[in-house]
Structure 1
Amino acid sequence: MKFLFSDKKFLNTMLKLAAPIMLQNLIFSSLNLVDGVMIGQLGESAVAAVGIANQIFFLVSLLFFGIGSGSAIFAAQYWGRKDTERIQSVLGLSLLMSISGAVLFSLVAILLPVQVISIYSKDPTVISQGSVYLQIVAFSYVVTAITNSFAFVLRSTENVKLPLLTSVVALSLNTLMNYGLVLGNFGLPALGVKGAAIATIISRLIEVVLLLQIIYRRKLPVAAKLPDLLN
């Protein structure tokens, strides 16, 4: 342990890899929290509704984190051997598991939003607003599954800056769109809770499109074709 902390080269390498990952994870968690902050101006019921709905996303994110962490371990080992084919196979399995889980959570949230929110609250107003938010934001789960799968494996190939960049863009867009769609600024309609959910979906979509566009344009190690993902 003493050797590790006295090795400046090791410390510099660790910081270059760890700092962006920690920041990106913080931003990932903060994106949905922005909804709660903006909704705070609409009253206690709206805050409670969004907070409860985001507890479902917390469960989804735990699933993504578990799958992503496992895939990252295998991908890092294959990256050490420069075995791109195996890395892409790991990515394919991660995508399959994450998307499957996301679809399951999405279906429950979309088809049974009232029942889900009712587990946490019996307040009719909270249930009504929470159901509206959950039913819309659930469409972002699959998109987030794709983003996370690529991000975890990408970081295993020592590319930690790209996932951070796309997360910063997503957080910035979500904040601006929340300000517009929740409160009715920038000439946009004030949609309240519904606006927060729409802002989240749009920012998540832009995040994954930007991430994939850069990955495939630069032909990074995770730029796999469909047959490679299914291998």
Structure 2
Amino acid sequence: MKKDRKLTLFALTWPIFIELFLHMLMGNADTLMLSQYSDNSVAAVGVANQILNILIVMFGFVATGTIVLITQNVGAGNSRSALEISQVSIAANLVLGLIIGAAVIAFSENMLMMMNIPPALMAEADYYLKMVGGLCFLQALIMTIGAVLKSYGFTKDTMYITIGMNILNVIGNYLFIFGPFGIPVLGVEGVALSTVVSRLAGLIAISYLLVKRISFQTKALDVFKLPAAHLKNLLKIGVPSAGEHLAYNGSQIVITIFITMLGAEALTTKVYAQNLMMFIFLFSLAISQGNQILIGQMTGAKEYDQAYSRCMKSLYWGIGTSAVIAVIFSIFTDSLFGIFTDNTEILQTGAVLLLLTIILEPGRAFNLIIISALRAAGDVKFPVYMGILSMWGISVPLAYVLGIQFELGLAGIWIAFIADEWLRGILMLIRWKSRVWINKGFVLHSKAAT
């Protein structure tokens, strides 16, 4: 990476936003296109993807640690350590991907049976899970190499790769689901093949960019000669972060169970509302990821005042952007929910939820942006402890009390979300302003660093 290469929040963030937007928009491409083929196939792939989404969290913890460690070392001018961390990260997720892939192939049916999948869906779900999950090391490598490139500021590269993979996946789905030009209609098998081929192409392309951008060269056995501290630091950052994600997903599952007590209509409304909220959420998420790269480099260079002010500016942008977009969504509630349904009760409840979202999303921006900044500075454990405490101590019990006991329904559950997000957000802001995160970095100061 060139030393004089100036990175700005906007330059980093807009490609990340487009990449995230495409992931969200195209993430359900298999489901949408399969719906034209068979409802059973949609259900089968949906159940398999629930399992695969849990596996992605496992790969994500290495990618999270990768960004923190590389940005800090790049900021400190330790180019050799940054390259070493890249090598260790890629090797770690490759090994993890191969192990998990083998486990999926061996225990695919058992996993699906634990999900109580109907017998009629087992064959298709099993095939999809074994094919896509068995080769999940492809996704693991793409995530890790993408994290490396982002750490050096090459966020456009990962955006282009995502665009290319999505295009290939949609073309493959079309060919194997609709069978033009005499191509055999393969249904779920075709969708699985399309997913794997697009990922393989993406891995080849992103590997080429890795070598081109940062002169990445290594031999397989060289990884074992690298400092063990790199792997230790990856785990020190990644494992708590993965724990936080699992705790959040667990709390959401419990709250979803509460919502099922309110009836199928409430569950449907919740799904529609959260699909719309994702578009608001994406802006804060993109800003937090761009901010994390900058904070990591600044703290690595010991530019603590610049890091402090950078985070606060990013926070103002995140809060302002999410609030404005939430207001716009609230104004056009009927039109937005009308995309999914014409049910009057869903439209009325949805309007209340989007109104509450105007308060909810700025609170979420607090969490996303400041937690990513704390993590980038090396302050990893505090956000995790506070997150778990708030999710399970505030969000879950309050959702039950307000939503079920006080019979406020989804509105009560949304109020519980608001309380959780704002409490954590304020705690994170106090932590950031205390500057306790200074000198919590993971830079290895050694003679080998250059």
Q: TM-score, normalised by structure 2?
A: 0.46
Letter in 2 for 1:15: F
Correspondence for 1:168 among 159, 163, 169: 163
For 2:23 and 2:105, locate their aligned partners in 1 and report how far apart those are by CA, in whole Å: 22
1:95/1:211 CA distance change after superposition, 3 Å? same
For 1:180 and 1:95, locate their aligned partners in 2 and report how far apart those are by CA, in whole Å: 33
Question: Is 1:201–2:225 an aligned residue pair?
Answer: no
For 1:228 and 1:156, locate their aligned partners in 2 and report how far apart those are by CA, in whole Å: 22
1:67/1:107 CA distance change after superposition, 3 Å? same
Who is 1:211 aligned against? 206
Between 1 and 2, higher relative CO (CA 8 Å, sep ≥ 6) is seen in: 1
Correspondence for 2:67 among 59, 64, 72: 72
Who is 1:3 aligned against? none
Who is 1:221 aligned against? 214
Does the 8 Å contact 2:41/2:121 carry over to 1? yes
For 1:77 and 1:224, locate their aligned partners in 2 and report how far apart those are by CA, in whole Å: 21
Who is 2:258 aligned against? none
Letter in 1 for 2:144: S
Q: Deviations over 1:85-111 (max 9, x none)?
A: 211211122223322332232112212
Root-mean-square deviation (CA, aligned residues, Å) is 2.1
Question: Is 1:118–2:113 an aligned residue pair?
Answer: yes
TM superposition shift of 1:60: 1.9
Who is 2:122 aligned against? 127
Does the 8 Å contact 2:70/2:82 carry over to 1? yes
Letter in 2 for 1:128: A
Does the 8 Å contact 1:87/1:222 carry over to 2? no
Does the 8 Å contact 1:99/1:142 carry over to 2? yes
Letter in 1 for 2:178: L
Does the 8 Å contact 1:53/1:117 carry over to 2? yes
For 1:55 and 1:194, locate their aligned partners in 2 and report how far apart those are by CA, in whole Å: 18
TM superposition shift of 1:187: 3.3
What secondary structure does 1:180 align onto? Answer: helix
TM superposition shift of 1:197: 0.3
Does the 8 Å contact 1:78/1:84 carry over to 2? yes
Q: What count of residue pairs does the alignment treat as equivalent?
A: 219
Q: How does 1:49-68 map to 2 (within 5 A)?
A: 49-68=44-63
TM superposition shift of 1:228: 5.7
Q: Deviations over 1:186-225 (max 9, x none)?
A: 4321100000000000000000101112332x2x226131
Correspondence for 1:142 among 116, 137, 141: 137
Does the 8 Å contact 2:149/2:210 carry over to 1? no
Identity %: 22
Q: Deviations over 1:140-170 (max 9, x none)?
A: 3111111111110111111111111111100
Does the 8 Å contact 2:97/2:137 carry over to 1? yes
Does the 8 Å contact 2:100/2:134 carry over to 1? no
Q: Deviations over 1:28-79 (max 9, x none)?
A: 4555522111111222211111011111221122122221111101100111
Who is 1:109 aligned against? 104
Who is 1:184 aligned against? 179
Look at both structures and tell me which one has the larger radius of gyration over its CA atoms.
Answer: 2
Does the 8 Å contact 1:140/1:200 carry over to 2? no
* Structure 2 gap segments, 5+ residues each: 1-5, 227-450
Letter in 2 for 1:95: I
Q: Which segment is superposed worse, 166-175 or 21-30?
A: 21-30
TM superposition shift of 1:15: 1.8
TM superposition shift of 1:84: 2.4
Letter in 2 for 1:52: V
Who is 1:33 aligned against? 28
* Structure 1 gap segments, 5+ residues each: 1-9
For 1:122 and 1:51, locate their aligned partners in 2 and report how far apart those are by CA, in whole Å: 11
Q: Which segment is superposed worse, 147-156 or 101-110?
A: 101-110
1:138/1:32 CA distance change after superposition, 3 Å? farther
Does the 8 Å contact 1:91/1:229 carry over to 2? no
1:222/1:147 CA distance change after superposition, 3 Å? farther
For 1:15 and 1:83, locate their aligned partners in 2 and report how far apart those are by CA, in whole Å: 25
1:215/1:93 CA distance change after superposition, 3 Å? closer
Q: TM-score, normalised by structure 1?
A: 0.86
